[in-house]
A and B are shown apart, each in its own frame.
Chain A
Amino acid sequence: MATAMRCEEAEQLIALAVLGALERDGAGGLESHLATCAGCRETVRAFRRAAAVLPQSLEEATPSRQLRRRLMGAVYAGSATAPARPRRVAGLWRRVPQARGFTLAAALAAAASVALAVWGATRGPAAQTETFAVVPAAAPASAHGELTYFPGQGRSVLTVSGLGAPSRDGSAAVYEVWLVPRSGAPAPAAFMSPVPGSGSWTAVVSGDLRGYQAIAATVEPPGGEPQPTGAQEFVVPLSQT
């Protein structure tokens, strides 16, 4: 059983560790003490909780709007390889609506969209989908692909092939996707991400497409822009919606 003296010494080391100041060579014996002393393990918890409120003493600052857009661009760029539960993805593949002209491109898009896969596999009945063709806008007119819209889920998966790596004036850039309303300015909707090994690009667009006349993509600086500034790469007319 640990003595009171040893516990006091341990508490000093615990406090330093919780504050991030305990050096490894100054921690002698703490780990073995914690293994045998429930009281000091409780001190670890209590000190951690005390330190956890320190950020609440700060005057809250506001990051730039660009940070959110940059973060989500990076998240969606990584979503094709995000750690998903294989069981659930397999569930989606079994649920693919075979009778509605489900194409390889749509299958690819579905596989690429982990978010949609999980959502679709866990929430709803078999989805009714609508598909729209990609129309290239930039020369050379090599972009081709389609948008698969899941109206019941308010999600669309855009898959496009024939796009090179985006660049502006020789610098790295991103493909930014826009929702184009029937009137008013386009709204930023997503960033295109490369699908590893396929040569295609994909994006998940959230929202009900009714009320929009098209989805379009432009080349924008890293992090994107609040309004389109670059050349339009392709457009997806939403004439049936």
Chain B
Amino acid sequence: MDQREAGVLDQLWQGSPEAIEVLYDRYGRVAYTVALRVLSDQAAAEDVVQEAFLAIWRRAMTYRPERGSLRSWICAIVRNRAIDRLRGEAGRGRVELPLDERPEGAGVSDTWDQVAAELSREQVRGALRQLPVEQRQTIELAYWAGLSQREIAESMDVPLGTVKGRARLALSKLRDLLQEREQSWQPQ
């Protein structure tokens, strides 16, 4: 986290409206991009972004820097709200993994946020292109369309076990590709 972001976070924790203005100027476009990707509707996407930033302002104390960057946190909130809006009740009832994720010794890198922030659109797309098409489709249906494991299995006409295996392989490969980048990363 850079100093500017740390300052914004401090203001946010103090309930400062100006902090939301700064956050929106910094992350409003990516938030809107995520909402639009899920909803394919400009007005609905803007509604979701507004709701999400208001929620961020009110729930700022729930942000834990050790869990990921502000950008990731904001994108996750926006995506969850967009999926809720897209899927309604059908999108609910999913498992959320435990929130307490404090680093546990070696293997946890402080450089990850910087590595991730420096990834270009083409680099992420390149990493996705390296996945087999059925793994990419599994990510698409789960992450962007908000389908559940059973719905994905029905949609792709494969057994549930295949969906589980594809999801694991897809994220494992992405993780490995990104870890390679992290290991070769040098501060700019």
Contacts and interface: CB of A to CB of B under 8 A. Distances in A.
B134 interface: no
Contacts of B76: 52
Interface string B133-166: 0000011011100111110100000001001110
Given A11-B172, A206-B18, A67 B139 contact: no
Interface of B: 11, 14-18, 20-21, 24-25, 28-30, 32-34, 36-37, 42, 45-46, 49-50, 53-54, 57-58, 61, 67-69, 72, 75-76, 79-80, 83, 93-98, 101, 103-104, 107-108, 112, 116, 119-121, 124-125, 127-128, 138-139, 141-143, 146-150, 152, 160, 163-165, 167-168, 170-172, 174-175, 178-179
B50 A15 contact: no
B121 A57 contact: yes
Given A49-B116, A58-B37, A61-B29, A23 B148 contact: yes
What 7 A-B pairs have minimum CB-CB distances, sorted nearest first?
A19-B142, A12-B164, A21-B142, A15-B167, A50-B174, A63-B32, A52-B72
Contact of A63 (B17, B46, B96): B46
Given A16-B163, A67-B32, 12 more contacts: A8-B168, A12-B165, A16-B149, A21-B142, A24-B93, A26-B160, A46-B175, A47-B171, A54-B124, A56-B121, A61-B33, A85-B15
Contacts of B141: 21
24 contacts: A16-B163, A20-B80, A20-B94, A21-B94, A21-B148, A21-B149, A24-B94, A26-B95, A27-B95, A48-B97, A48-B101, A49-B116, A51-B174, A55-B30, A58-B34, A61-B33, A63-B29, A67-B49, A71-B53, A75-B20, A79-B15, A82-B17, A114-B17, A115-B16
A75 B148 CA distance: 34
Given A15-B171, A19-B167, A53-B178, A59 B121 contact: yes
Interface string A204-220: 10100000000000000
A115 to B, nearest CB: 5
A15 B108 CA distance: 19
A72 interface: yes
B93 A23 contact: yes
Interface residues of A, number: 67
Interface string A1-34: 0000000100111111111111110110011001
Interface in A133-151: none
B54 A57 contact: no
A50 B178 contact: yes
A234 B187 CA distance: 54
